[in-house]
Structure 1
C-alpha cells in the first residue's frame, strides 16, 4: 500500500525519502523501507508540548537545543523522526540532524507503535551512539530513562506519577509525570 500511496516501488533512497511531499502520516525511513504511522493523537501531542516546555530553560542553560519531530540520520538510509531530541550545535536549515549531534532522544509510546519504540528504535538509537533515551508512557506519563553502555541501553530509572525524575546529564532538569498528562 505504501508504494501505491507514494507512487514508488522497491527500496527507498535517502534522497527519495527527503523529497516526499507532505502527508498526514508520520513517515520514517528504515533501511530502504518506509515506516508509516498515523498522525499522533492529541494526548501524545499534549505530552510532547508539556515536555518541551519543561525542558526548554534547562536545555538553554546547558547550551543545547530541544527540537520536536525532526529527521535524525542514524546512518545512511536509517532516518526516524523522534518525538523530541536534545542536540548540541546544529545547522538549523538542514533537513536532517545527524545522530552524533543528538544527546538525548525521546519517544512517547503510542499504543499503535509501542513495539517500535521499545525495541526497534531503542536498538537503532543505541547502535547510532545516542547517549540517552527517554521513553514516556502515554497513559500514565511514566518515564523510563536509559543510558547508553556500549551499544545497548541500560535502564537508569523509572519515574511514575507522584515521583520526580531528576536528570543530571546531558542537562539538569526535573520532570514530573503528573505535569505531562492532560488535566480533565
Structure 2
C-alpha cells in the first residue's frame, strides 16, 4: 500500500489542503493520504498556534467524510526538534507493509536541498509535488528526477495565516474551511 504523507501545522486546515489531498488520492497511485499534523516546537511558542490536539481535531473533522484521507499525530511523540528523515525511518519501522511518499508544494521543493539527509529521502521515497506560485528556482538536480512526480493539481492561493488574520478582523471566512472545521473554530472562538 502506498501512503502519501502531507505534513503541515494545519492551523487551521482549510479547503485548499483538502483539495490538494483529495486530488492526490483521486489522481495518483497513492492509496491513502495521511495528513500529518506537525507538533508545535517547545522552543518556538507561537501565540497564534493552537494546541497540537486542537489542530489534530480539526484535521479529523475535515477528513472524516473522505475514504482515503486520514489524520495523523505520528510526530507528536517523536523527539523535538524533529526532521522528516526521522519520521520516515520511524514509519518504515512501525509499518513495514506500507510504502511512504512525501507530498510537498513546489515552494518546498525549491529548498529541499537544505533538508537534513535529503539525498537519503530521495533515494528511498517518492515525492509528489503540487504547483505553488512562489519565488526562486528549483535546483537542477531535481529536474526530471525519477523519484519526483509533478502533479497537475489546482493552484490554491489560500493560507492559514490569511484565515487567522481574517477571523481576528471579524470577517466571514466560512467558505474557506470545511464545514465541520468551521463549526469547531466558531464554537471554540479560535483565532479571535
Judge same fold: TM > 0.5, yes or no: no
Please, what TM-score do these two structures have when normalized by structure 2? Answer: 0.30
Please, what TM-score do these two structures have when normalized by structure 1? Answer: 0.31
- Normalized per residue, the structure richer in strand is 1
Greater relative CO (CA pairs within 8 A, separation 6+): 2
